[in-house]
Amino acid sequence: MTNYVFDLICIGGGSGGIACAKRSAISYGKKVLCIERARLGGTCVNVGCVPKKVMWSAAHIAHTLKHDMEHYGFSSGGEVTLDFPKLKQARDKYVKRLNGIYANGFTKAGVECVFGEATFVDQHTVQVTDKDGQVTNYQGEKIVIATGGRPHFPPGEGIEEHCVSSDGFFELEDLPKVAVVVGAGYIAVELAGVLNSLGSETHLVVRKGRALRDFDPLVSEALDDEMVKAGIFIHRNTNGVAKVTSDGGSKKNVFLHSGDVIYNADVVLMAAGRVPNTEDLCTDCEWAPNTETLHLEKCGVKITPRKYVIVDEYQNTNVENIYALGDVCGNVELTPMAIAAGRRLADRLFSSNPIHSTSKVSYEYRGIFHPPLGTCGLTEHKAIEKYGKENVKVYTSRFSDSHYGIFDVKPEDKPKTVMKLVCAGLDEKVVGIHVLGMGSDEMMQGFGVAMKMGATKADLDSCVAIHPTASEELVTMGTWGTSPQESGAKVSPLNGAAAAEPKLN
């Protein structure tokens, strides 16, 4: 039996790779190496969730100052301005501090970390070329590919030349006066909302009728209404961008396939999709460079036509000692999913507890947190596909949050909160929860736990409401107490029964 230097090599120091590496080292005492070519933390920490939440918070403050403050009797006493460079400097400093925290976390966990471009030599050997050109080979019994993804520029004249990606958004030194955001996914919607709230004239370009088409129609249609009310110009049914030209200075003109043209944009932000970071993993990919490759053909790992690494539900590739997780696999490309997959993979690989032998991630549950929209589980359409229309019951609610109660505006002009519970089966098990509105990002985590534990509609009804909150609507929806009195809990909480007692020594 070959003795390898490392029990595990993780290629990629993003959310998934870090989670797998630390879990393997801390919980199971394994000797682990992590290889990262840029900054620790991956997309989420450097150009994703973390800096985006900073910008969302800034946008929330701007919205409060512009739209909410006066309704509560406050006066600014003058114009409130945004020092965008100061915001960027503070945000970048915060991200850099997090990079250091991850590095310290590796040190404390005993994980060795090297920086450079990784290349497969064989199924147990990875070659790393550092920034100075020094080449070192590392051998590991098991190898995890967690290289993530990157923004994609669609084809078209001047698009890559005159546009920035969602990563490039965080390099902007000044707030653009006019911004065009291209895309219909949550990244495009988030950034369009941030730019609009901060004061940019914002245009959102979608290929079809609206953004977030894969989300439940109740929340995606309500979100569309709120974006229009907020002043975002939505260009619909465009079939995308044909070309982008420059006026010779700083202004860009965006030509859409529909024939429409958006003139004089300061920034054109492409958020039309992401691709996996396998260009450096495979020399026979059509679009891969012939240098700085990871040579997947040398270890035999297979990829899809879209260049995602092929894995089963347990993160196994077709090569017995090589695994892949996170965005590079193309399942649900979200940070919490990569973290969960990394931890569960470590458990399955190194734990002696039989319960971990089938440890895996359920991709049926997800959360989107910016703008304030939370979704967990199946949409109504997907539930009907899975269980049949006759076995699905839906509860919905639409209201204005009490925050807007004192606003001196017409009721129809107040921002709306919308909610949907998707239930299935004779016991009305909750299989989907969808919320748009103030606080929905925070409330969704707790309800997600309940749903993962098998909560039924009756279980939700059995919980006494916290009043006054928006979340109480989820435990009072419909005609209270009329759903089938069946519980998904080990000890039923229905009809005022006491909660289960803990197991004691």
Residues labelled catalytic: 467
Dig out the tokens for 376 from the structure.
């967990």
Looking at the DSSP assignment, which residues form a beta bridge with residue 32? Answer: 8
Amino acid at 10: C
Helix (H, G, I), strand (E, B) or coil at 244: strand
Asked whether the CA dihedral 489, 490, 494, 498 is positive or negative, the reply is: negative
Residue 476 dihedral angles phi and psi, to the nearest 5°: -135, 10
Dig out the tokens for 242 from the structure.
């044909």
Residue 183 dihedral angles phi and psi, to the nearest 5°: 145, 160
d(CA 185, CA 333): 12
Secondary structure percentages of the chain, helix, strand, coil, to 5: 35, 25, 40
DSSP 443: H
d(CA 62, CA 125): 51
Could you tell me which residues come within 8 angstroms of residue 200 by beta carbon, excluding any fewer than 6 positions away? 175, 176, 177, 178, 179
